[in-house]
Chains A and B, each alone.
Chain A
Amino acid sequence: MKKEQTEELFVKWVDGRLNNEEQSQLDELFAADPELEAELTGAKEVTAVLQSEIPKSVEPPYPDFFNSQLMRKVDLEIAAQRPAEKAARWWESLRWAWAPVGALALVLAFFAGQRMSPQGNGGLADRGTADSSEKSEELPNVYFAEKSLTAEVIADADGNVSAIVVEGITAISDDIDFARADRTTSLPARYLQSEERRLQ
C-alpha cells in the first residue's frame, strides 16, 4: 500500500470515517505494528476530548496573530525534527495531522486563560452564579476600588445579568439628607469635565 493511502486511512480512522473495506486494511496494519495502533489511539482520544470541550462556532481571537504564531510553531517543530527524520519510521512523518490538534489546543488554552480570574477580594468579582455554559459568556466583570469589596453577579433565566450584589461598601451615614445638595467636598474631576463638555 502506498504511503499516501495509509495516511488517508489514518486520518479517516481518527475522524471515524472509515468504511468496512478501509477498516480491514487498517486492521492488517495494526496487526503488523501494535505500536502504531497505540499511537493513533492516543491521537484519537486527544482529538475527541478537544472537540468535546471547544464550541465549533468559536473564531480564534486575533486570527492573523493566531495563524502566524501557529505556523511559526509548526515550522519550529519541523525544523527540530529534521535530523531524526531519516531514522524515523515512515508513518511518523505524519506530523501534519497534529496541526489541527495543536490549533484546538491553543484555542482551549485561550479559553482556559479567560476563565481563570481572581475571585472577590482580588479586585475582580466572579462572573456570577450561572453555570459555565455559553449563556454566562455575557456576564460582566466587576472591578473594585478597594480589596475589601466582593460582588456576586446574578443572571436571569436567559443567562443575562439581572443584578450585581456588592458587599462591603461603606455604609452611608444615617444623618445624610439626600434632599440637600452637599457642597462640603469637591466633585470628581471627570464629572466636572463631562458637565463642561455637555454645556459647551
Chain B
Amino acid sequence: MAERTKIIIENLSKKFGSVEAISSLSATFDACAFTVILGPSGCGKSTLLHVIAGLETASAGKIFFEDREVQNLPARERGCAMVFQDYALYPHMNVEDNIGYALKLAKVPKTERRERIGRVAEVTGLQSVLERRPSQLSGGQRQRVAIARAIVREPRVLLFDEPFSNLDAQLRHDMRRELAELHQRIGATSVFVTHDQIEAMTMADKILVISNGRIEQFGTPDEVYHAPESTFVAGFIGSPPMNLINGTGDGGAFKLRDGTVLSECGWNGHVVLGIRPESVRVDRQGAVALKVRYCEKLGSHSIISAELADGQPMRLTTPLGSSAEPSSEIRVNFPAKQLHWFDSESGKVIPRRSNGIES
C-alpha cells in the first residue's frame, strides 16, 4: 500500500504568456482521499493536474506532498502516476510492455517486473490480453491498461485527466464502479479531473469546483449539491441544474420585475433566488403561476420547461406520470426551506443565518 500523502497547494498560479490558466489557488487534498476537480471546458483542470504532476512548472505558489515541497522537483521524483483522456498508450508495445515500461526504466529486475505486472493485470482484469497491442483492444480495455500502467508503480499520488470521457455511457458507469473499488484497495491519494458532474458526485470524497482558474467551492458532494456557495456552482451541478431567478427583495417579499410575488424574502434590493427543479411543488392552489413551454418525459420523471410571469425560464421535475401540455398554465409552490439566496452582484451565497424568514 502506498505511503499516505496529503497534497497541499498554496497560492498556485500558472500563466501561459498573458493567459492565466490558474490564479492563486489554495487547497488541501486529504491523504488517501478521492478528490474530484470539476469544472467546464477550459477552466484550467488539466493545467492544475499537470502542475501537480510536474509536467508543467508553476508560475508562482507552492505544492507540498505531505511536508515535502515538490513544485521544483522534476516529474519523475514526485512519485505521481497519471491516466490520460486519450489513453496515451505506446502503440508499438503490447499490453505487458506498456504496463511494465515504468518498471523497466526504474531497473526493476525482470522476475519482479513480471510478478507485479501479473498482479495489476489481475486487479484490472487484463490477464488474457497481455500479449495484445493497444490497437487490438476495446476502449474499456485500453483505459484499463492505462490505469494498470499508472498503478503498477504503486504511486503515492494518482492523477486522472478525464479518463472516461471517450467511453460510452454503460462502460463509463462500470468503470466508475471499478475505479472506486480499486481506489478502496490501493488507497493512493487520487485526484480525478472531469467535467461530468455525475462522475464527480458518485466517486468523490470531496469535489473542487473551479471556473476560470479559481475555486468556486471545495466540499463533499452533499455540500456542493445542497449548499452551493455561488450561482456558478448552483447552475453547474444537477441535471437539470438549479433554477436561478433574478428579482428584488421588497418589504419581506421576493418580487419579479413585473411585481409578481414568488416567495417571502429576508432582505431588500436585487437578489438571486435559487431553487432545484425537484424542489418545486406542483400544487393546484400554488402561489406561483407558470406557463408551460414543453415537457420532456424521461420515464422515471418528467422535466417541464416553463416561464415565469416576467418571462424568465425555469425548469421543474415532476414524478412519474404527471405531465403538462405546452402553453397550459400550472401553479406551483416554492417551499421556503428549499430556497437558496445569492448576491446578484458577486453571485456568492447569502448565508442562511442572516435570512430573517428562516430563523
Q: Is the pairing of A and B real?
A: no
Binding site for A on B (CB under 8 A): none
Binding site for B on A (CB under 8 A): none
